[in-house]
Amino acid sequence: MTTVTKNVKISDVGLHSGLPVNMVIKPSKKPGIFFKRVDIKDSELIPATFDNVKETMFRSTQIGNPKGAHVRTIEHLMAVLFILGIDSAIIEIDGPEVPILGGGAFEFYNLLERFVSDRTKMKKIVVKKTIEARRADLLREMPFWKRIRMMILNYTLGRHGDGYERLSPAYDKGLQIDCIIDYNNKAVGTQYYSFEFDGSKASVKDFVDNIAKSRTFGTYAEWDMLKRHGMALGSTMHNLIVLNERQDAVINKLYYPDEFVRHKIIDALGDMFTSGGFIHGRLESYKGSHELNNYVLRKLFSDSSNYEIIEAKGEKK
Ligand SMILES: [Zn+2]
């Protein structure tokens, strides 16, 4: 197991709530990443696992426990914990949302990388069969009210029902993620990015240099809608890429021309870590999303012949 060597405190506003939030990542002897809402009385630990994901609609991943305590936008922090090999920590938080910081993973990485305990290898989850998760199937399986909400949201955001994700055994050195995004607006259009992570120092550096800073984006229409629902209140030009009214240009400066698709890699890494281990396989994501990331994991774990778990047994990294 690998944890943090001391309490690491991180404070900022939440992207959706816009309210200040304080988070303390604490060393732990218990395997797994757990959140704890310290602002709620008797709040139980919330395991950051795919089967506790409650909501993924508004471009963030939210986990919760049966008593109703929840934490949202965990994915960028989860991506960094994964990249650093931290598979054991208790994360105390005094609000419902992880601090947004720069909108990507870079700040989390900088704040945490000096405080990683002696590393041991992470539990491996080896993909044995090809798993496909299609948006159309996801919609079909949803309860009626949720499906209607999703359809309205897709219409508002200009998303189409043809997205899919595929997990396959095609890569055995670690996790390979191939992302394609395709948006109607000219500023984003079609973008492709591939990232291979094998746990080596070189692949950590690749993540930090080429992916970590990437932010998500919003169009005016979308952010207007989110704000009317009391969300995205903490979004600024610093932590979010904003497209202009005609959606043919970006208002703020981009870190990379294809920052949009690179951010999808962060989201996918963070979401794949809700598997509780290091997935060995290839994830192809075509118009992927937090919903599909979660769906592909639920499908993977629905049948034990789809995967093999190799425990680390204290092996050094
Ligand atoms: Zn994200």
CATH number of the domain enclosing 246 = 3.30.1700.10
Classify residue 315: in a domain, yes or no: no
141: enclosing H helix or E strand: helix 135-141
Strand 32-37 relative to strand 88-93: parallel, antiparallel, unpaired? parallel
Q: How many CB atoms lie within 10 A of CB 274?
A: 23
- How large is the average pLDDT for residues 276-291? 96
Classify residue 238: in a domain, yes or no: yes
From ligand 1's centre to the CA of 313, what distance in Å?
Answer: 32
Classify residue 38: in a domain, yes or no: yes
From ligand 1's centre to the CA of 292, what distance in Å?
Answer: 14
For the segment 206-249, what is each residue's pLDDT rounded down to a tens digit? 999 999 999 988 777 777 777 788 778 888 888 989 888 788 88
Number of folded domains in the chain?
Answer: 1
For the segment 85-144, what is each residue's pLDDT rounded down to a tens digit? 999 999 999 999 999 999 999 999 999 999 999 767 899 999 999 999 998 888 888 888
- pTM over cut 0.85: yes
Classify residue 116: in a domain, yes or no: yes
Pull the structure tokens for residue 62: 């939210």
From ligand 1's centre to the CA of 315, what distance in Å?
Answer: 32
Would the pLDDT of 157 be above 70? no
Q: Out of 16, 76, 280, 290, pick the active-site residue.
A: 290
Would the pLDDT of 265 be above 90? yes
Classify residue 1: in a domain, yes or no: no
Identify the domain containing residue 298 by its residue range: 8-310
Classify residue 102: in a domain, yes or no: yes
At residue 57 the predicted structure's pLDDT band, cuts being 50, 70 and 90, is low
Residues within 5 Å of ion ligand 1 by Cβ? 216, 267
Pull the structure tokens for residue 178: 């191939």
Residue predicted with more confidence, 66 or 175: 175
Classify residue 317: in a domain, yes or no: no
d(CA 312, CA 301): 19
d(CA 295, CA 141): 11
Is the CB of residue 216 less than 8 Å from the CB of residue 262?
Answer: no
SS3 content of the chain, % helix, strand, coil (to 5): 30, 30, 40
Cβ-based burial of 229 (10 A; exposed 0-12, middle 13-18, buried ≥19): exposed
Classify residue 2: in a domain, yes or no: no
The label of the residue with tokens 């951010």 reads 263
d(CA 167, CA 285): 9
